[in-house]
Amino acid sequence: MEDIVQNFQEADTMVKMEILSQIPTTVMAVDKELRITYMNHAGLKAIGKKREDILGKKCYDIWNSLHCNTNECCMHKVIDGGKTYSARNEIMIGDLKKPVEYHMVPLRNENGNVIGGLEFFVDITERVHYEERLKEQSNTIREMSTPTIELWDGVLVLPVVGVVDSMRAQHMMDSMLNKISETHSKVIIMDIQGVAAVDTAVANHLIKITRATKLMGCECILSGITPAVAQTIIQLGINMDNIKTKSTLSDALSEAFTMLDLEVKNKRE
């Protein structure tokens, strides 16, 4: 970017104007007082104004962005520090908000002194919408992969399948605690039969989750511990003495009923 600006500054003024006028995104130059000294055709078209209407105006009066007149303004940083800056911003054009990515570089005179800044705007509306869709899809997948289900009045169950990393463990904890708060449940069963491998990190995540549920007044039962997982836990020396464990989900449910003083009887015709 700095090489491009250096070549640009060394070019003839008319050549500069011609180059910038052909760029399909907004380009704006300001002096040290943030007065607009140039804006290309794309920028003028974006704001719907003529060049003579904006020259000499403060840039923040034209764009009214989230960063304008704040410490986040990159143009201030460019002029004060003489370095290139890039950031995301949101500008207002009439009543329309537009997310943009902007890049700013210092403009220097023949002596190398900073006399203003050059700013390039890129409209990233489509990119932001795409990122939001990806985030929504990711959240949906996480919700589907860690559903906290009300199995019985006062009893919740969380079936865990696949890999448990830090991010997923946090989501599991959030899901469980929110469901406990919502249902006022007293017992939650975390079934890990679908977890293929348990290492120290996974075990620590599970321990933290059980402690968090206890702080909410809800006992946590860990079920679905396979022989391989049990051996791994012993070999790793992980202390799980304070955690209620059962080998199967049905055993855990039976234990939950006992804890709640409930009894299940066969109904005879």
Model confidence pLDDT, tens digit, residues 217-249: 999 999 988 888 888 888 888 888 788 899 899
pLDDT per position as a tens digit, 34-80: 999 888 888 888 888 888 888 889 888 888 788 888 888 888 888 88
Spatial distance between the Cα atoms of 254 and 252, rounded to a whole number of angstroms: 5
- Asked if 8 and 115 sit in the same domain, the reply is yes
- Asked if 178 and 115 sit in the same domain, the reply is no
- Asked if 119 and 157 sit in the same domain, the reply is no
* Amino acid present at 237: G
Instruction: Please indicate, yes or no, if residue 43 is contained in any of the structural domains.
Output: yes
Look at residue 62 and give its three-state secondary structure: helix
- Asked if 97 and 181 sit in the same domain, the reply is no
Instruction: Please indicate, yes or no, if residue 267 is contained in any of the structural domains.
Output: no
In the chain, what is the greatest distance between 2 CA atoms, to the nearest angstrom?
101
Q: Tell me: pLDDT of 140 over 70.
A: no
- Asked if 118 and 185 sit in the same domain, the reply is no
- Asked if 24 and 109 sit in the same domain, the reply is yes
- Asked if 7 and 119 sit in the same domain, the reply is yes
Spatial distance between the Cα atoms of 72 and 56, rounded to a whole number of angstroms: 22
- Asked if 28 and 109 sit in the same domain, the reply is yes
Instruction: Please indicate, yes or no, if residue 137 is contained in any of the structural domains.
Output: no
- Asked if 26 and 97 sit in the same domain, the reply is yes
Q: Which domain holds residue 194?
A: 145-259
- Asked if 177 and 86 sit in the same domain, the reply is no
Spatial distance between the Cα atoms of 253 and 159, rounded to a whole number of angstroms: 13
Q: How many domains does the chain have?
A: 2
Work out the percent of the chain whose per-residue pLDDT is above 70.
87
Instruction: Please indicate, yes or no, if residue 59 is contained in any of the structural domains.
Output: yes
CATH label of the domain that carries residue 208:
3.30.750.24
- Residues for the chain: how many in total? 269
DSSP class per residue in 156-218? EEEEEES---HHHHHHHHHHHHHHHHHHT-SEEEEEEEE-----HHHHHHHHHHHHHHHHTT-
The pLDDT value recorded for residue 181 is 92
The model's pTM is 0.50
How many CB atoms are located within 10 Å of the residue 140 CB? 10
The pLDDT value recorded for residue 1 is 47
Instruction: Please indicate, yes or no, if residue 139 is contained in any of the structural domains.
Output: no
- Asked if 115 and 149 sit in the same domain, the reply is no
